[in-house]
């Protein structure tokens, strides 16, 4: 019987380390309208070919030259329920799979699909961002071909959950698909939690492995670093027993963080007489995140997430983002001093792998988007649970995943349904912790709109969250209590610090969206700034757009940077969802945008905008003052700086100085001197720089200004920042001269 409840069983069989049959490549496609039953079984010889994963459909109708009846980017009312396509591919089942259990998995079919094998329906999946898997043992014959078909739908009842407003009507296989085989006795599931004790000296990998075992054998679990086994256990497998406990320990493990993303391999090996040895491998890292009202610590040290929002979208392939393209994008993030990502779309598996490898703190969004009109509705609970379980089961073994970000901007539409809406949100929080008790949750709230001046969401989840306005967060910090809206009707509920802590809040907060600044790189002085800001700028002011961006980012990020209880924030967004010129044409010649705005600090084809450099400057782990005062006779300048690295002491870095006097040629310098400085992560130290350049000393003694340039090089030789400090003789200082109004030394 077909399941119409919307609640799907979520189980992902561990795959063998090698030997799967990849289904990526050419698929045959037939577009609607068609007789669905006939299209599943007819000969597709005359159908056109498309490459999958990739786009079958995508476009932004608002970029068209005429109105589209009933157009709605959120609910897709202008698209018929039956619209879509049938995708077909023939795969020959390897003869070597005889006697094995065979599985078919799709990592993501967006927004929905029905799945067929040789004309027989396997099932449906109405969650466009999470994987779906079917056992096809007995439905295929090793050595013979099998016909795989996907009935692709462009919309469905629950499509709003998966954020189609940013998907630009994409439909297709968003991620890869494959067949794989395992022995009759096989690993069916596992949950091994990696942890680190308070001393940071002992790591463990412990939990359960589930086995279908009609016969006996042995189970080996190993932790491997650089091909060397550092911990291992062998467990006898008994016939009929399903659950096995595993506990491995590693003394003084190499720790994982954004600066040193040290990874270990975990190998699960099942050895059963009469069948091929099964090996499943995944990577893990040892790290410890502690949250308290005093602030967040990772591996015992201060941590601040310098984050951006990532909207998974490729300008040519749509929701399919090739791994090499993702790596290019994430390499740019590193160059911008970004160390954290809040996903906005459940990110693809490749993205999570790269976060592990490259060192990014990941706040992974579980897809329940804009639930205003449905978050209270019981019919929408099963598809929400499916998305939560699918996302967590897929990613819970990744060390980069720090927080489960449950949905996006979900608040009940009215006071009448508020109780049910909040009940469901708390239910989702409970499921997260049951599936993964090792990670905290947060529930990103809406920003200011209509009757709502903002929400500081600390009623559910361990981490409080706020969008686009910091007024309520500052009020809560000052008064220890706030009024939060209970629904979009503006009915308010008071919550105090004591109540929030008793409820389970850990005392830290995060801003998972701030910034949102429309910025076309060609329009260098465009007046069209963001309308969502605590301090709005008059579009007719004529102010330089980059200066306005820098000032706002300085104020908002500065507020988060200097608050010990703030885990950090995620600027919205890194890049915008946009499509380039394809077969359907493009009236703009380059890119058209989701939600009609070119937000982000890089373009869709990964070119840094001017805003990129401002964000890079402010996201540096160290800030320098814009100017310091000099008194006659001083042989050095002194100022305080703070270390915002997680594990790097300033003594491991290079502080390279260059100096010159003021004047037309002041910035042309060649000589340099290095200054030694020690400062532990999370600490503040006074930095003293000798005035060693004769040109600077002479200029100051004559009553003129000069400057000292500082270039910082980290342990890998990367330059996170370069700063020019203007050195001003005391005689030149005005009483009202408080330094540059825009810059890291501005008083908040």
Domain ranges of the chain: 21-182, 186-275, 290-618, 627-732
Domain 627-732: give its CATH code: 2.60.40.10
DSSP for residue 452: B
> Residue 3's pLDDT is what?
46
Tokens of 408: 């996006």
Cα–Cα distance measured from residue 255 to residue 303, given in angstroms and rounded to the nearest whole number: 14
> Residue 739's pLDDT is what?
47
Closest CA to 173 of 150, 155, 146, 157: 150
DSSP for residue 24: -
Cα–Cα distance measured from residue 697 to residue 706, given in angstroms and rounded to the nearest whole number: 8
Cα–Cα distance measured from residue 20 to residue 101, given in angstroms and rounded to the nearest whole number: 12
Strand partners, 513: 467
Name, in order, each residue with C-beta under 8 angstroms of 419's C-beta and a sequence gap of 6 or more: none
Tokens of 293: 């009202």
Name, in order, each residue with C-beta under 8 angstroms of 734's C-beta and a sequence gap of 6 or more: none
Query: What is the maximum span of the chain, computed from C-alpha positions, in angstroms?
Result: 92
Does this chain's domain 21-182 share its CATH topology with 290-618?
no
DSSP for residue 600: B
Q: Give yes or no for residue 531 having a pLDDT over 80.
A: no
In terms of average pLDDT, the best of 52-66, 133-147, 726-740 is 133-147
647 with 255: CB under 8 angstroms? yes
DSSP for residue 255: B
Over residues 354-365, mean pLDDT: 98
Helix (H), strand (E) at residue 442: strand 441-442
DSSP for residue 318: B
Give the number of C-alpha atoms closer than 13 A to the C-alpha of residue 26, restricted to the C-beta side: 6
| Sheet strands side by side (includes 186-196) | 186-196, 202-212, 243-251
> Residue 734's pLDDT is what?
65
Q: The whole model's pTM is what?
A: 0.95
Over residues 611-631, mean pLDDT: 96
274 with 241: CB under 8 angstroms? no
Q: Give yes or no for residue 581 having a pLDDT over 70.
A: no
pLDDT band of 178, cuts 50, 70, 90: very high
Q: According to the CATH classification, is domain 186-275 in 3.40.50.1390?
A: no
pLDDT tens for residues 246-283? 999 999 999 999 999 999 999 999 999 999 999 999 99
> Residue 740's pLDDT is what?
43
Topology (CATH) of 290-618: TIM Barrel (3.20.20)
Over residues 474-489, mean pLDDT: 96
Strand partners, 255: 286
Q: Give yes or no for residue 747 having a pLDDT over 50.
A: no
Cα–Cα distance measured from residue 736 to residue 716, given in angstroms and rounded to the nearest whole number: 42
Q: Mean pLDDT for the chain?
A: 93
134 with 122: CB under 8 angstroms? yes
Q: How far is CA 649 from the centre of its chain?
A: 27
Closest CA to 599 of 534, 526, 536, 510: 526
709 with 719: CB under 8 angstroms? no
Give the number of C-alpha atoms closer than 13 A to the C-alpha of residue 615, restricted to the C-beta side: 29
Cα–Cα distance measured from residue 251 to residue 305, given in angstroms and rounded to the nearest whole number: 28
Q: Give yes or no for residue 455 having a pLDDT over 90.
A: yes
Q: Give the CATH superfamily of 21-182.
A: Galactose-binding domain-like (2.60.120.260)
């Amino acid at each position: 019987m077909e399941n119409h409840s919307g609640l799907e069983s979520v189980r992902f069989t561990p795959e063998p380390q090698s030997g799967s049959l990849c289904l990526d490549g050419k698929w045959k496609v037939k577009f609607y309208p068609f007789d669905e039953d006939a299209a599943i079984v007819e000969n597709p010889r005359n159908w056109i070919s498309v490459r999958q994963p990739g786009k079958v459909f995508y476009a932004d109708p608002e970029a068209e030259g005429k109105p589209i009846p009933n157009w709605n980017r959120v609910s897709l009312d202008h698209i018929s329920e039956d619209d879509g396509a049938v995708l077909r591919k023939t795969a020959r089942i390897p003869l070597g799979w005889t006697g094995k259990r065979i599985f078919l998995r799709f990592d993501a079919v967006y927004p929905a699909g029905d799945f067929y094998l040789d004309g027989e329906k396997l099932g449906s999946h109405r969650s466009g961002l999470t994987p779906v898997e079917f056992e096809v043992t007995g439905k295929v014959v090793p050595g013979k071909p099998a016909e795989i078909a996907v009935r692709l739908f462009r919309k469905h009842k629950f499509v709003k959950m998966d954020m189609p407003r940013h998907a630009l009507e994409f439909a297709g296989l968003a991620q890869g698909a494959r067949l794989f085989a395992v022995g009759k006795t096989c690993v069916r599931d596992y949950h091994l939690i990696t942890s680190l004790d308070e001393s940071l000296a002992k790591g463990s990998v412990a939990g359960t492995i589930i086995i279908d075992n009609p016969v006996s054998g042995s189970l080996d679990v190993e932790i491997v670093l650089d091909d060397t086994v550092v911990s291992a256990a062998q467990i006898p497998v008994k016939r009929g027993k399903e659950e096995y406990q595993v506990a491995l320990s590693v003394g003084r493990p190499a720790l994982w963080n954004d600066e040193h993303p040290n990874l270990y391999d975990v190998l699960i090996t099942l050895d059963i007489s009469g069948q091929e040895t099964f090996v499943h491998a995944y990577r893990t890292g040892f790290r410890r995140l502690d949250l308290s009202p005093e602030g967040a610590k990772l591996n015992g040290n201060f941590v601040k997430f310098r984050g951006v929002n990532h909207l998974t979208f490729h300008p040519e392939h749509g929701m399919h983002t090739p791994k090499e393209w993702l790596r290019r994008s994430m390499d740019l993030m590193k160059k911008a001093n970004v160390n954290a990502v809040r996903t906005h779309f459940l990110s693809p598996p490749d993205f999570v792998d790269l976060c592990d490898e490259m060192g990014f703190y990941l706040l992974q969004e579980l897809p329940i988007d804009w639930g205003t009109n449905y978050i209270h509705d019981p019919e929408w609970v099963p598809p929400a649970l499916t998305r939560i379980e699918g996302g967590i089961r897929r990613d819970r073994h990744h060390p980069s995943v720090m927080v489960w970000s449950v949905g996006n901007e979900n608040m009940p539409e009215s006071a009448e349904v508020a109780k049910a809406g909040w009940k469901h949100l708390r239910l989702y929080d409970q499921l997260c912790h049951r599936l993964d008790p090792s990670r905290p949750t947060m529930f990103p709230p809406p920003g200011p709109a209509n009757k709502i001046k903002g929400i500081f969401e600390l009623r559910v989840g361990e981490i409080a969250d706020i969008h686009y306005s910091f007024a309520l967060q500052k009020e809560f910090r000052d008064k220890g209590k706030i009024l939060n809206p209970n629904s979009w009707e503006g009915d308010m509920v008071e919550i105090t610090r004591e109540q929030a802590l008793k409820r389970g809040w850990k005392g830290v907060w995060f801003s998972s969206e701030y910034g949102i600044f429309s910025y076309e790189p060609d329009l260098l002085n465009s007046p069209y700034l963001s309308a969502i800001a605590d301090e709005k700028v008059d579009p007719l002011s004529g102010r330089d757009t980059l200066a306005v961006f820098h000032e706002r980012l300085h104020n908002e990020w500065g507020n988060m940077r200097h608050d010990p209880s703030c885990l950090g924030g995620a600027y919205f967004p890194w890049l915008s969802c946009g499509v380039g010129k394809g077969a359907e044409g493009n009236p703009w010649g380059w890119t058209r945008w989701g939600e009609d705005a070119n937000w982000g600090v890089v373009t869709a084809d990964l070119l840094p905008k001017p805003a990129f450099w401002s964000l890079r400057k402010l996201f540096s782990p160290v800030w320098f003052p814009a100017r310091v005062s000099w008194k006659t006779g001083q042989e050095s300048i002194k100022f305080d700086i703070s270390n915002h690295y997680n594990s790097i002491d300033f003594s491991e870095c290079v502080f390279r100085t260059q100096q010159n006097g003021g004047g037309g040629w002041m910035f042309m310098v060649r000589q340099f001197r290095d200054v030694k400085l020690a400062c532990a992560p999370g600490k503040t130290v006074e930095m003293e720089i000798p005035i060693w350049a004769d040109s600077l000393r002479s200029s100051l003694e004559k009553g003129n200004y000069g400057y000292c340039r500082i270039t910082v090089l980290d342990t890998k030789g990367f330059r996170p920042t370069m700063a020019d400090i203007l050195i001003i003789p005391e005689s030149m200082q005005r009483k009202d001269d408080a330094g540059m109004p825009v810059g890291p030394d501005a008083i908040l």
